[in-house]
Structure 1
Amino acid sequence: MSSLLLKSAKILDSESPYHLKTKDIFIEHGVITKIEDKLEKADRIISFEDLHVSGGFFDSSVSFGEPGFEERETLSNGVVTARKSGFTSFLLNPNLNPITDTNSSVKFLQQQIDKQLIDIKPLGALTKGFDGKNLAELYDMQMAGAVGFYDFKTPVADANLFKIALQYVKAFDGLVFSYPQDKSIAGKAQVNEDELTTYIGLKGMPNLAEELQIARDLYILDYTGGRLHIPNVSTKASVQLIKKAKARGLKVTCSVALPHLFFTSEKLETFDSKYKIFPPLRTREDLKALKKAVRDGIIDMLTCDHEPMDEEHKALEFENASYGSIGLESAFSVVNTLFGVEKASALLSKPKTKFGLETSKIEVNQRADLSLFNPNSKYTFQKQHIFSKSKNSIFLGESLTGKVFGSIYNDSFYEN
């Protein structure tokens, strides 16, 4: 497809001179060549009711299943799911089989990705096979294209190893991810420790399990220097620890998963395994603190924490069910429902700069990297809205506002 024309699109991009203006946008060979009040001709004209457009959505934590767990999700279907959901770029977690912990495994993923259709950046494992004992091929993986190092949802218990990792990657400006959980405190608990979960008889983990690990990591970061990303923060005190670290000038960023901004542990009263996620759903006080931290910019980014799980492992009694929820398809609607369209579009499109990734403005002579949506459409999220192979969405049955029409990346348009 050589040319596309978006008709009457309200532009949401604070860095663009057309921010909050409604314009026609002409795209030729993957580049925005005209933005005017009225344009007429193109190979394909795209027109939707109440069309809004922002920079392409980005997510810092997406899991697929290929290679190794194709029954959960394949790379090709995952790309279609992301594009139809408005995402043009994301970080791909290394929790595959084999785990992405070598130069060759990063190169393999890069070879499978059609860079004309989507911008996927692999994360490499921090330790070999997530063993927490031996550092993986960090430098070699970064040279192959990995943008950070993360033992997916597996905390690094060895403080000295964590220190060495931060010191080592400084030489090539590498980024270490550290999952915030102290396993010795968390034990085998599966839910938050609070009054409700104690009442219904589920073994709970205290907030301390998260906060102790974050405090340790930040103390070590202060000693070593370097760059640290803390994914999936979920408690009020975690936010305060990170706020103080940023005030001291430490190079630390963090994310929060969307379910922790939308649900509390009160949902567990039903024992429905769709609410079994990691970290667990917290209290209303934590949720309010997390939302405030997003508005204040202490939390740098949101993640849908897309983690497909096949029905065989998810549709079980709560104690035996696997953790995880998909989230790409519902992400914009959830963020728009929570924060409104201007904030939502910024939260979903801007954070890629935190990882040093290229962004495009909605401006003439810029590469086309766009998400298309109607922020006012109301609906109930159901299985018919899911494109993933797996259907394990925590948001099934929720009333949401905002419908994604699709995305444009280079000269390809994926329509929802």
Structure 2
Amino acid sequence: MDILLRNATIVDPLSSYNNGQYDILVKNGKLALVKKDIHEEVDKEIDLRGKVVSPGFVDVFAHFNDPGLEQKETVESGTAAAIAGGYTNVFALPNTKPSIDSKSFVEYIVQKSDKLPIHVRPLGAATKNIEGKEISEMFDMFQSGAVAFTDGLYPVQSAGLFVKILQYVKSFNGVLIEQPFENTIGSHGLMNEGIVSTQLGLPGIPAISEEIFIQREIELLRYAESKLHITGVSTIKGAELILKAKAEGLNITFSVTPHHLTFCDEDVVTYDTNFKFNPPLRTSADRDALRQLVLDDKVDAIASHHFPQHWDDKIIEFEYAKNGTISLQTAYAAVQTAIPQLKTEQVVKLFSTNMRNVFGLNNGFEMGSMAELTIFDPNATTVLTKENNKSKSANSPFFDQELKGAIVGILSKGKLILN
């Protein structure tokens, strides 16, 4: 199918077309021509005046629960939520049943992805059965299509094992992704440890559990000289440790979540389980400081941390509720709302080009390459409702809230999909 996007404002910091208004011609899924006033007969044409077109959004940390936990989400339903959120690439966590810790399970996700409109890229488990005891066959998984490696929700706690994993992936230029928390500190905590947790009488998870873990990872990275991405950073001290390591020249990047930029521990006072996350919501000072780092171009990416939970894991007492929120569908609008001063070019770096560079994905405006584009409108609004929610689960604090910015659609694998 030949598709013509007219009058699009292209935003791609890596492209010569950046911040210009052009027509975009896509032939058989490939980017064929970008210029003003294209005259060509096509199968589909759409006028995007006032809309932004960027390289397709990338999410590096989403849980699709497939195989084994399909009552929460499937690859197909997660993909539908991702498309509505403007994503053309999503990295799927290995915390499934059984876990994605072998070549065969990586191929299972790859084969499913081949039939879908976007790329769902499996993250291979760093250790066998995600037990943190023995290194998995990462090279085999890499050759079969694993985009990076992580134990996902259960980061590797053994320093000795983790440094071996860093050295292993270095042999094939792989990347490790870690969510930072030391599980022997605050392991029974339910929210951030601080004044609010004391007032509510809830056991806390101290910030030091994250910061000690980050410092350890940096020291091991320095020793192994490998590549590391830390996701879900929730404290300003943790972020500053990473920024210092980057300044030293270490190959490290990090991402923050939309919910840690929007909410803080004070929002937990209602005991609403939709505010229960790991890492937990930190103080308003941490939230505001992270927002400023985003504005200062110090944060590498926004990671959705899309963790669907079945209703019976959320509609219970706060103590027993499971962590997580669905967020692929609202990630962009939530961040644009939390930080309204954010420039469009910054949005594109955070949601697309920075992670494309880190993980070796193609850039959106290379002639002859497969077109992967996200279309969005910073001036429109988004409202997530029970009716338009694409996920199988409904655990989100954003329902029925008007958010600034809206995803118009995506162009991926030769298909134009509009919301």
The match for 2:282 is 282
The match for 1:356 is 359
The correspondence for 1:382, drawn from 380, 385, 392, is 385
Tell me the secondary structure at the aligned position of residue 320 of structure 1.
coil
Percent same amino acid among aligned pairs? 36
Q: TM-score, normalised by structure 2?
A: 0.94
1:84–1:414 Cα contact (<8 Å) kept:
no
Distance 1:257 1:291 in 2: 11
The match for 2:117 is 117
Distance 1:360 1:224 in 2: 29
Give the C-alpha shift of residue 168 in structure 1. 2.5
Of 76-85 and 405-414, the range deviating more from structure 2: 76-85
Distance 1:39 1:250 in 2: 45
Give the C-alpha shift of residue 147 in structure 1. 2.3
Distance 1:99 1:341 in 2: 37
The match for 1:201 is 201
Distance 1:361 1:74 in 2: 27
1:58–1:351 Cα contact (<8 Å) kept:
no
Give the C-alpha shift of residue 364 in structure 1. 4.5
2:182–2:213 Cα contact (<8 Å) kept:
yes
2:301–2:349 Cα contact (<8 Å) kept:
no
Q: Which runs of 4+ in 1 moved over 4 A?
A: none
Give the C-alpha shift of residue 283 in structure 1. 0.6
Mark the CA change 1:374 to 1:179 in structure 2 (over 3 Å): closer, same or farther.
Answer: closer
The match for 1:190 is 190
The amino acid across from 2:345 in the alignment is E
CA deviation vs aligned residue, 1:169-221 (integer Å, no higher than 9, x gap): 22222222232111111220010011112101111111001001111111122
Distance 2:147 2:206 in 1: 32
Mark the CA change 1:242 to 1:51 in structure 2 (over 3 Å): closer, same or farther.
Answer: same
The match for 2:126 is 126
The match for 1:229 is 229
Tell me the secondary structure at the aligned position of residue 177 of structure 1.
strand
The amino acid across from 1:8 in the alignment is N
Mark the CA change 1:210 to 1:375 in structure 2 (over 3 Å): closer, same or farther.
Answer: same
Tell me the secondary structure at the aligned position of residue 355 of structure 2.
helix
The amino acid across from 2:355 in the alignment is K
Give the C-alpha shift of residue 287 in structure 1. 1.0
Of 273-282 and 330-339, the range deviating more from structure 2: 330-339
The match for 2:25 is 26
The match for 2:244 is 244
The amino acid across from 1:171 in the alignment is S
The amino acid across from 1:388 in the alignment is S
Give the C-alpha shift of residue 84 in structure 1. 2.8
CA deviation vs aligned residue, 1:226-268 (integer Å, no higher than 9, x gap): 1122111110110111111112221111111111111111110
The match for 2:399 is 396
1:23–1:38 Cα contact (<8 Å) kept:
yes
Distance 1:107 1:364 in 2: 29
Name stretches of at least 5 consecutive residues in structure 1 with no aligned partner: none
Of 306-315 and 53-62, the range deviating more from structure 2: 306-315
Mark the CA change 1:170 to 1:156 in structure 2 (over 3 Å): closer, same or farther.
Answer: same
Q: TM-score, normalised by structure 1?
A: 0.94
The match for 2:174 is 174
> Quick check: 1:345 aligned with 2:370?
no
CA RMSD of aligned residues (A): 1.8
Tell me the secondary structure at the aligned position of residue 68 of structure 1.
coil
